[in-house]
Amino acid sequence: MSNLILKAENISKHYRLGVIGSGSFKEDLQNFWKNTFSAGGNKTTSSINTEPKANDLWALKDIDFEIMKGDVVGFVGKNGAGKSTLLKVLSRITLPTTGTIKGKGRIASLLEVGTGFHAELTGRENIFLNGQILGMQKKEIISKFDEIVAFSGIERFLDTPVKRYSSGMYVRLAFAIAAHLDPEILIVDEVLAVGDAEFQKKCLGKMKQVSAEEGKTVLFVSHNSQALKNLCTKAIYLEKGRLIDMGNTQDVITNYLKREQTLYLHRIYADPDTAPGNDSIRIKRVEMLPQYLSGSNIIDIRTPLVIDFEFWYLPKEEMDLGVSIALNTVMGECIFDVDSLARPYKKGLIKGQCTIPGDFLNNGSYSINLIFVKNTSSALFEFEDCLSFDVEDFRANTAWYGDWPGAVRPKFKVQLQQEEI
């Protein structure tokens, strides 16, 4: 008997968009559509020719992989790359359009914590309900009951309906049940994004224990590349439904970050007539030049970032010109807005530069707006989202892998000193 526990051959999943129906699934598809095909029209990464025909969409295309017993496999890829669809196919929630998956042993999927929780029922009842929905037997739950309750830390509220729980308690209970699942193959989707810091640590620890000590196979999707690096023995990188890379976690994640990052770092326009702008301003070039640390070729929180730009200035009247640079998160929150000195310039080409120091931004996705300001009061032209980039996490000397809080993450010194013994 070989150690192969799961084998997927030639898996494809086809959706036809715009068919009758509604609900969460349709939203999923719409997100997929938006992320994959409309926002990134100028992508350079094109070894792929999945030009979509009107309403056809291949969420997965010709995926093959094998998974060994005891592997912890991380799935990486952008939103809409097909990760969740793949997990759904593996969990038997949706059927593949083509292909076969063969496996051994019981599969349990955790695509959400607390699936099937009933708000009116007590915590105790919900432990059984959720546990059985996830595939546990009643006997099994009874034998693990005390452990589950202890893990969740909600002993006092065991006989309270879960609708009275705080969202934190709810998640803790839900995860506690999930953590005590005992299948041969566990499928986990993004559940680490919930709960408070201490609890997240507990969950990651539990997952590590499950795979390392008990030899379980775990398939796991997360956007937390640190967690992936820490937990996974193997990674699979999907893009637009295709399997791009598979193998050693470190290599696959580096490859992924590199490919996904270089997309919007350069905007160069040769012809002033068609370049973005208006009668007064025409953009020639906007570029992000990351000052990679030696031995690294991805932008992480330590990397200083130079924003370098050139534009043609075609003023109709005498004025003071200033440029401001705004950095926004992907959610549209402004992290900072810095501006140049305003003064008169002559008609012609103008060059500008700004450096965001390393150890300043938190990890996340950002975009930059360039705003050209007339007489420090009105906007001449606003070049929105001209650059966008991801800042990856980097941590050394810490055992904490949850989200790092804060809009920025400067490295101010915090000093400690022993005063007394």
Partner 1 sequence: MNLNEKEDITADWQWEINATQSWFKLGLRDLYSYRGLIMRFVRRDLIASYQQTIIGPVWMFLQPLLTTIIYLIVFGSFAKLSTDGVPKILFYLSGTIIWTFFFDNISGTMYTFITNAHIFNKVYFPRLIVPISNIITQSVRLSIQLMLFVVIFLFYHIVYDQFDLSYTLLLIPFLIILTAAFALGSGLLISVFTARYRDIDTFFQYILRLGMFVTPVVFPSSLVPEKYQFLFWLNPLTPIIETFRAVFFNQGAIQYNYLLLAVASTTILLMLGLVLFKRRETEVMDII
Under rule CB under 8 A, residue 132 binds partner 1 = yes
**Under 8 Å CB-to-CB from 113, ≥6 apart: which residues?**
171, 174, 175, 178, 191, 194
Residues 25-84 that bind partner 1 (CB under 8 A): 25
Number of residues in contact with partner 1 under rule CB under 8 A: 48
Residues 235-274 that bind partner 1 (CB under 8 A): none
- Angle between helix 123-133 and helix 138-152 axes, rounded to 10 deg: 130
CA pair distance 204, 230, nearest whole angstrom: 9
Under rule CB under 8 A, residue 182 binds partner 1 = no
Site string for partner 1, 97-126 (x = CB under 8 A): xxxxxxxxx-x-x-xx--xx-x-xx---x-
Task: Give least dist CB 183 to partner 1, A.
Answer: 12
Measured from the CB atom, the residue of 133 and 263 that comes closer to partner 1 is: 133
Measured from the CB atom, the residue of 92 and 347 that comes closer to partner 1 is: 92
Tokens representing residue 412 in the block: 């101010």
Q: Which stretch binds partner 1 (CB under 8 A): 22-30, 73-81, 272-280, 334-342?
A: 22-30
CA pair distance 171, 191, nearest whole angstrom: 10
Measured from the CB atom, the residue of 174 and 370 that comes closer to partner 1 is: 174
Beta strands in 276-359 (DSSP E): 281-290, 305-313, 321-329, 334-339, 348-356
For residue 405, count CB atoms less than 10 angstroms from its CB and return exposed for 0-12, middle for 13-18, buried for 19 or more.
exposed
Task: Give least dist CB 136 to partner 1, A.
Answer: 9
CB atoms within 10 A of CB 335: 16
Under rule CB under 8 A, residue 7 binds partner 1 = yes
Under rule CB under 8 A, residue 315 binds partner 1 = no
CA pair distance 191, 231, nearest whole angstrom: 14
Interaction site with partner 1 (CB under 8 A): 1-2, 4, 7, 15, 19-21, 23-25, 88-105, 107, 109, 111-112, 115-116, 118, 120-121, 125, 128-129, 132-135, 137-138, 161
